[in-house]
Amino acid sequence: MAYRIPSDAEVVVAIRNVLGRYGTINSQRKLTELVLRSLRRHDSDYTVSEERVRKLALGNDLATVEIRCRDTREKTSAGACPVCGGRTERIRNLTVYGGSVTMGYKCRTCGYWTGLKNRVPTLYIFAPKP
């Protein structure tokens, strides 16, 4: 069972075409299926992952994403954003006594945020950028 991996440029063109044709898409899986259908018109052996489609759509400013999350019991740590792979920054608040407290973390690239308890993305809603 052979497969081929399309270039980033081919995937970006497919994402742009899909978002232009269908508008808002309410699932990462559905977006990937539509992009694959578009890519396979040119080569039936092409394959692409959901994560790659999401990161290329965000990284090339093709879409805005609304992220729905669920809370977990794990503590959050600063690091890479689970949505786009960018760096998260601390959200800080001043205390009455002049100190500061970390309230959570936010990604400047995609807008993902989490509090002191980790939030796991469960649903992505993609809308084309004007």
Residue 9: pLDDT over 70 = yes
Angle at 9 between CA 14 and CA 129, to 5 degrees: 55
Helices assigned H by DSSP within 40-99:
50-59
* pLDDT of res. 92: 93
Contact 54, 12 (CB under 8 A): no
Beta strand extents in 15-129 (DSSP E only): 63-75, 88-94, 100-107, 113-114, 117-128
23-65 pLDDT tens trace: 999 999 999 999 999 999 999 999 999 999 999 999 999 999 9
* pLDDT of res. 10: 96
* pLDDT of res. 1: 61
Residue 2: pLDDT over 90 = no
Q: Structure pTM?
A: 0.85
How far is residue 93's CA from residue 117's CA, in Å, rounded to a whole number?
17
Helices assigned H by DSSP within the chain:
8-22, 28-39, 50-59
Burial 89-103 (b: 16+ CB within 10 A, else e): eeeeeeeeeeeeeee
69-122 pLDDT tens trace: 999 999 987 789 999 988 999 999 999 999 999 999 999 888 899 998 999 999
* pLDDT of res. 130: 80
